[in-house]
A and B are shown apart, each in its own frame.
Chain A
Amino acid sequence: MSDEVRFSLTVDGTSHEVTARWSESLLTVLRDRLGVRGPKTGCAHGRCGACAVRADLGDGDPHVLCACLVPAATAAGGTVETIASIGGPDGELSDVQEAFLAEGAVQCGICTAGFVTAATELLESNPEPTRTEIEEALYGNLCRCTGYGRIVAAVETAARTRRGEAR
């Protein structure tokens, strides 16, 4: 087809040669072309954060973004880390993932991968976030189940764990 593009994309450490349509989003490429199902489709408008991934789209500036908002072709040559890159190789959970479980921050869980991704990025850049900084980092992620209280508690717990403090 005339609107097809071919490019390479590294996802969770694995390099892929992708053939996609121009109009496809990075989320569609991840889910439907590469079978990477960690990022979820919530709104497809960049409003819910269920598809949040950490990506370097070739400008050397990796950051958390909504995969649904990125036209696939603009990710050419880029590096994407999804929820699968968080945690150990043998299914070992990261401190953030552990904290989400311990604090009851997971109910239906459709938002969880996005929240864990955004929270992990936050704690890497800011190990001692204030409540307001947690809110600023996570307000792009919607949760319909938890009321957010358990999610804030999880991020605070993970931050304390990371600083070596007891819970």
Chain B
Amino acid sequence: MREQAQLGGVGTSARRPDGPAKVRGEFTYAGDLAAEGMLVGVTLRSPHPHARITRIDTAAARALPGVHAVLTADDVPGDLHFGLTLRDEPVLADGVVRYAGEPVAVVAAVDAATAGRAARAVEVDYEPLPALTDPQLSLTAEPLHPDGNVYRHVSYRCGDPDARGVVTVENTYRIGMQDPAFLAPEAGLAWPTPDGGVAIDVATQWLHSDQQQIGWATGLPPEKVHVRLAGVGGAFGGREDVTLQTHACLLALATGRPVKFEYTREESFLAHRQRHPGTIWLRHSADASGRIVSVEGRVLLDGGAYASTSPVVITNTVTLLQGPYRVDNGRFEGWSVRTNNPSCGAMRGFGVPQAAFAHEAQLDALAAALGMDPVEVRLHNALQRGDVATYGQRFDAPTPVREVLEGVRAVPLPQGPARNAPGGVGRSAEGGTVRRGVGYAVTIKNLAFSEGHVDESTAEVSLCDGHATVHTACAEVGQGFVTVAEQVARTVLGASTVEVTQPDTLIASAGSTSASRQTMASGTAVHRACLAVRDRLLGRVAREHGLDAAELTVADGVVCAAGQPLTTVAEAAPGRTFRATEHFQHPDTHPLGSPEARMYVGYGFSAQRAVVDVDVELGLVSVVQIASCQDVGTVINPTQLLGQIEGGIVQGMGLALMEEVVVADGRITNPDFQDYLIPTIIDAPEIVSTYVTDPQPGMPHGWKGVGEPPLCTAVPVVAAAVRAATGLALPAVPIKPEHIALGLGTPPTVTWTTPRPADPTLIGTVVLADEEVEDALGTMAEEGASPGR
């Protein structure tokens, strides 16, 4: 049974189903929620990055008129601790605070002003403790937490790491802390349910993760915790961790009333997880032809006060240090560690932008050392299908590194002056000091969950009189899953109208809307459910007409028999509902070092070329153009694809040039949009976007995730272009005006002589001694998957 595109089907620029409500301002975001008798929740947060709480007295706060509840750690009925990977974080401070902004108490009152007064009336005595803010010292310092200071240490090698070519380049890079900076601050509304449970409408990325963690804190079984998706105003990883969810539910249960939280912008910066800042040392060696002989890398990521996804992010960074290049000999090591800085976790790219910034700078350095063209060096080393990664996994799907590089090189360079001089429309730059630079970068990003994490989704689809309904737990955070789901239902079912219902925990988990995975996971579950519904519909039509169902097809909403129209989908079975629930799970993956050697589901590849104008006296940069060529499997929706590419590039450009959460003595000094700068429309460059469409095996239509690779590439490519314009090394992002104008910007000195932690199994799930690595790699060799080849 063939599938054919119909109006609004797969391959068309179908419009967002939630678009009309959004352009009218009528779409209901979590912050717009309200309920009869609603109370307002407010959080009291620690002013100290590290302190012992010697006394909390809530009596004065509770006595204020209009205050319905004041909760501290003592009032948490279930398990005090939660976390996405390790349950190391208290719902409310458990006698010690470990970062500035840690929730200490929560209040529910009749309005925000009263709740705020009550929070200020909670008396807390702190005994400040020394704040550990240097991640390098974390490795040897007294543990900040009973679980220790190392979230995960990974170490492995392949081939002969000491092999050397004629040229060796060695540098240390630093990446700053980026905030997801979604525009709608965290919000949610919780209420007690008649069965003694709790329900919450919340802007989140992962409904079932929230449900589980709310269950831990409240002591309720999962069936009594109902999570529904409220309108989400951007996410980018920053809503993957629980923030207000548990607090709102605890207060709703304590007061018997609906309780709403809506964070301020400042609180949003304090409450959610940022992108890991990190330091990366890399040594590349190459032969005279430019072929990479060996790569050695070390990574130190500052995970902040609590684990979140730090144990997972570090593996991405370390394993993808090789970049999209064939590396036969290597030695790689990395740590993510605990400090009293803000907790870091998921953000678009998930550890890869850090790696990409470093490995691409190294490739340019190699090219310079060899006197080669930067693109030629990359082409010379480009991964190909069949190659084996340093961590042992074979690239067994399309690996179009060469194609994306050549695709981006084929885009004509912009001619003439830039639209905006450095400094924006104010044109503060003088023409005489403006220099143009051109840089290239190419990156690899793993798609979907890795290392054995369950990566699944379930979809329920029904069809009645041509109207399809799609139900999943996939969080729509702006990325466009709702459009994809509609397109699939139109294409497969020939549905004339499609409704994507509100995601909730009444259906099985769809996993997180992150890791570029929802089109692949939930999209495929929807596709399977649509196929099953179509089979049922056609079986019925076949019986009615005395035909063989195998002869029937659906095209453009018409049921055809042997190619001839028979009836329409809308009229085929009046009043009859066909329904199917289907599950999809990605192929199994395994932890780093496992004999199976399959860590990742698949990869996306992206190449970009940046053209920048730099005023070298003022240090101002204007990004003139970014040309992009990305491997996208297949194009599902050209307009939405372009939006994902452009949005990712501008976010990456932000990290390269302006975005940094500045932390001083453990405190964020710029928690607002006056001092934390994200790109404006003036900063955004012209973007020329081209694609390589090489279908991904095992996926409907050959589709694959596209959301993260553009960001991963934009960081190194903008840095490369600014280096080309200025001749400066610029080993740190964001590149700030003073780095250019004053020649500052070298990364902090890191000695890398840090001893390994006394107990390397502290928290990490994979810590390989060299012998174990040898064993694992030896097994691979026996299986014909030798990384050393």
Show the binding face of A for B, using Cβ within 8 Å.
Answer: 31, 37-45, 47-48, 50, 82-84, 86-87, 91, 93, 97, 100-113, 116, 131-132, 134-136, 138-139, 141-152
Contacts and interface: CB of A to CB of B under 8 A. Distances in A.
A119 to B, nearest CB: 11
Contacts of B478: 107-109, 145
Interface in B225-263: 232-236, 262
Contact of B233 (A38, A43, A45, A110): A110
Nearest to B638: A104
B123 to A, nearest CB: 25
A152 B685 CA distance: 11
Contact of B647 (A31, A110, A132, A146): A146
B29 interface: yes
Nearest to B646: A147
Interface stretch (B12-20, B55-63, B429-437, B459-467): B12-20
Interface string B31-65: 11000000000000000000000000000000000
B651 interface: yes
Contact of A104 (B232, B234, B639): B639
B420 interface: yes
Given A40-B31, A111-B183, A138-B681, A83 B24 contact: yes
Nearest to A152: B681
A150 to B, nearest CB: 5
Given A101-B19, A108-B477, A109-B19, 19 more contacts: A39-B25, A40-B31, A42-B185, A42-B673, A47-B673, A101-B15, A104-B13, A104-B16, A108-B235, A109-B233, A113-B24, A135-B681, A143-B681, A144-B182, A144-B234, A144-B647, A145-B234, A147-B645, A148-B684
B183 A142 contact: yes
Which secondary structure characterizes the binding site on chain A? loop
B643 interface: yes
Contact of B681 (A43, A44, A139): A139
B713 to A, nearest CB: 13
A93 B23 contact: yes
Nearest to B714: A147
B229 to A, nearest CB: 13
A40 B31 CA distance: 8
In this complex, the interface size class of chain B, counting residues with CB under 8 Å from chain A, is 35 or more
Given A37-B32, A47-B672, A104 B640 contact: yes
A26 B264 CA distance: 17
B20 A93 contact: yes
Contact of A102 (B15, B236, B648, B678): B15
Interface string B722-755: 0000000000000000000000000000000000
The 4 closest A-B pairs by CB, nearest first: A108-B478, A38-B25, A110-B233, A109-B22
A40 B29 CA distance: 9
B25 A107 contact: no
B640 A45 contact: no
Given A93-B20, A132-B425, A135-B425, A82 B25 contact: yes
B25 A84 contact: yes
B681 A148 contact: yes
B650 interface: yes
Contact of A101 (B20, B25, B233, B650): B20
A103 B639 contact: yes
Contacts of B678: 142, 144
B418 to A, nearest CB: 11
A47 B684 CA distance: 17
A156 to B, nearest CB: 13
A145 B647 contact: yes
Contact of A132 (B13, B265, B419, B643): B419
A164 B698 CA distance: 47
B672 A45 contact: yes
A144 B23 contact: no
Contacts of A111: 183
24 contacts: A38-B25, A42-B184, A43-B265, A43-B673, A50-B184, A101-B16, A104-B639, A105-B643, A106-B16, A107-B234, A108-B184, A109-B18, A109-B478, A113-B23, A135-B420, A135-B682, A138-B681, A141-B681, A142-B673, A144-B236, A145-B643, A147-B648, A147-B649, A148-B650
Contact of B27 (A109, A143, A150): A109
A116 B19 CA distance: 13
B785 interface: no
